[in-house]
């Protein structure tokens, strides 16, 4: 719990009003005028600074500093994650994971197998890319096994969504960790700890209920593939693919463990701190993936180059949103909004983790974007992390990530992707996908809050 006493002033009221007006501007521009979130965040930052009374030169400097620091700390990691995901998809490695797991799963454990497949594929891939890759697989499995669409689809969607919201190297958790100066390795460790029970509850368990609520869901016939993706004459082995996907996870977890148990300054800790740095870990995975995935699939040097290069175009929008979110965050900080939010949280006796979740929920409901909700909420509650331990700062990142997933509805692109691919009505999509997202958010924060209370 944050304890801070401070007198309320008229300037504090002005800062809160400026924040609410800026968020309203962002929401209206994204939702009503369909403006790209990148532009909306720039304009919202300008409104925030001007209403808060910041000098124009300081406003510009704050926004530019935020953009620069965010791109420097997060942008390169997002690019490396995209490269690894593209190698996994184009080499047939993703198919190899799917074929191996599904071939060994009986009908009773098939929903659990789909959740596992989605989680493995979701580790290095962004949500939208993973969704487009995974949905044809889901539809093919449903066609072959004649299982209800929701029984197979919900676990897969849950695996992807949980990884997207809680586990680096996805943009949201990375951006929040950067904004809160949280240790990415600790975020990853706790993210996986929270993710496992969350996927189980929102995936295979809720999938049974969703299959009863939406029993007649049938995907459009023209969307059901004859086979799961492009057939390669050569594909990487399951063991090599899995090792490549898990390599950055293992390296970052190793760093997190060494920071806790190894003596500071020891050789072992210095080595693990270096190879477990997110930049080094992801770079190593991409380089290894070029051989274990690309070359194993028979890619020439030219094909490898084009595959890696083609991964960057689709993430340009995500990079710009995250960068602009960093600018918005820094504007909030330099205007003094964070300190006022801290005062409000203290006066209302709201735990920091719960406050981060609530702020992210509000922005998610308003904008529909999990990434915008994460980066904006991290900026608003960022000062709360200044006095936190590294563990609690990591849990605050996860609380914000959990809030960013709450109740996806008609202003979220993911809502419409699921609706169209699964051939659902709006009501059926709400009863399945939207409820699943809400379960993920609520279960995750229900795990995170006790962790915060237990860990000192």
- For the stretch 401-454, pLDDT in tens is 999 999 988 667 778 778 877 888 888 988 999 999 999 999 999 999 999 999
Query: What integer is the mean pLDDT of 34-52?
Result: 90
Distances in Å between the Cα of 283 and the Cα atoms of 81, 83, 142, 292, 315 are 9, 9, 36, 14, 17
Query: What integer is the mean pLDDT of 359-366?
Result: 84
- pLDDT on residue 234: 82
Query: What integer is the mean pLDDT of 290-313?
Result: 92
Query: Taking 60 as the threshold, does the pLDDT of residue 6 lie above it?
Result: no
- pLDDT on residue 209: 96
The answer to whether 142 and 135 are in contact (CB under 8 A) is no
- pLDDT on residue 229: 43
- pLDDT on residue 211: 94
The Cα–Cα gap between 400 and 402 comes to: 5
Confidence of residue 230 (pLDDT cuts 50, 70, 90): very low
Query: What integer is the mean pLDDT of 385-391?
Result: 87
Higher pLDDT, 226 or 37: 37
- pLDDT on residue 2: 42
DSSP string, 201-258: IIIIIHHHHHHHHSTT----GGGS-SSSSPPPSS---HHHHHHHHHHHHHHHHHHHHH
- pLDDT on residue 129: 65
Confidence of residue 456 (pLDDT cuts 50, 70, 90): low
pLDDT tens column, 242-297: 899 888 888 887 887 887 778 888 888 899 989 988 889 889 999 999 999 999 99
pLDDT tens column, 167-192: 987 778 988 998 898 988 899 999 99
pLDDT tens column, 84-135: 888 988 898 877 877 887 788 877 898 998 898 888 877 766 676 677 667 7
- pLDDT on residue 198: 97
- pLDDT on residue 411: 66
* Most confident region among 324-328, 341-345, 391-395 by mean pLDDT: 391-395
Lowest average pLDDT, out of 121-135, 266-280, 331-345, 348-362, goes to: 121-135
CB burial of 299-338 (b: ≥16 within 10 Å; e: otherwise) equals beeeebeebbeebeeebeebbbbbbbbbbbbbbbbbbbbb
249: tokens are 């996870």
Query: What integer is the mean pLDDT of 296-323?
Result: 87
Q: What is the pTM of this model?
A: 0.75
Query: Taking 90 as the threshold, does the pLDDT of residue 194 lie above it?
Result: yes
Query: Taking 60 as the threshold, does the pLDDT of residue 4 lie above it?
Result: no
Which of 93, 20, 7, 98 is CA-nearest to residue 52?
Answer: 20
């Amino acid at each position: 719990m944050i304890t801070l006493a401070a007198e309320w002033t008229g300037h504090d009221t002005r800062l809160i009003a400026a924040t609410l007006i800026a968020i309203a501007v962002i929401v209206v521009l994204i939702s009503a005028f369909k403006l790209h979130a990148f532009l909306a965040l720039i304009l919202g930052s300008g409104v925030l600074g001007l209403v808060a009374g910041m000098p124009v030169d300081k406003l510009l400097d704050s926004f530019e500093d935020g953009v620069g620091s965010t791109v420097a700390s997060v942008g390169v990691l997002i690019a490396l994650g995209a490269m690894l995901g593209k190698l996994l998809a184009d080499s047939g490695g993703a198919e190899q994971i799917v074929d191996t797991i599904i071939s060994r799963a009986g009908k009773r454990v098939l929903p659990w197998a789909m959740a596992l497949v989605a989680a493995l594929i979701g580790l290095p891939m962004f949500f939208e890319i993973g969704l487009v890759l995974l949905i044809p697989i889901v539809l093919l499995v449903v066609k072959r096994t004649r299982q209800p669409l929701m029984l197979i689809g919900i676990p897969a969607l849950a695996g992807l969504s949980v990884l997207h919201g809680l586990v680096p190297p996805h943009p949201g958790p990375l951006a929040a960790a950067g904004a809160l100066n949280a240790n990415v390795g600790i975020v990853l460790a706790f993210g996986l700890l929270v993710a496992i029970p969350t996927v189980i509850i929102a995936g295979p368990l809720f999938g049974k209920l969703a299959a009863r609520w939406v029993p007649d869901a049938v995907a459009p016939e023209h969307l059901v593939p004859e086979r799961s993706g492009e057939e390669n004459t050569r594909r990487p082995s399951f063991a090599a693919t899995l090792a490549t996907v898990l390599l950055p996870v293992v390296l970052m977890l190793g760093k997190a463990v060494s920071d806790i148990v190894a003596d500071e300054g020891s050789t072992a800790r210095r080595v693990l701190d270096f190879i477990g740095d997110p930049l080094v870990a992801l770079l190593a995975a991409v380089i290894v993936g070029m051989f274990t995935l690309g070359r194993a699939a028979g890619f020439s040097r030219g094909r490898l180059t084009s595959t890696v290069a083609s991964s960057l175009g689709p993430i340009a929008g995500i990079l710009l949103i995250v960068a602009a979110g960093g600018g918005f965050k820094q504007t909030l900080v330099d205007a003094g909004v964070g300190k006022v939010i801290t005062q409000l949280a203290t006066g209302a006796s709201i735990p920091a983790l719960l406050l981060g979740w609530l702020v992210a929920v509000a922005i998610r409901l308003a904008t529909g974007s999990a990434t915008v909700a994460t980066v904006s909420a991290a900026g608003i509650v960022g000062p709360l992390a200044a006095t936190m331990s590294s563990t609690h700062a990591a849990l605050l990142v996860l609380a914000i990530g959990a809030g960013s997933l709450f109740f996806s509805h008609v202003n979220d692109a993911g809502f419409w992707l699921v609706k169209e691919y699964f051939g659902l009505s709006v009501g059926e999509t709400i009863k399945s996908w939207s409820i699943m997202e809400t379960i993920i958010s609520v279960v995750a924060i229900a795990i995170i809050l006790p962790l915060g209370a237990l860990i000192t």
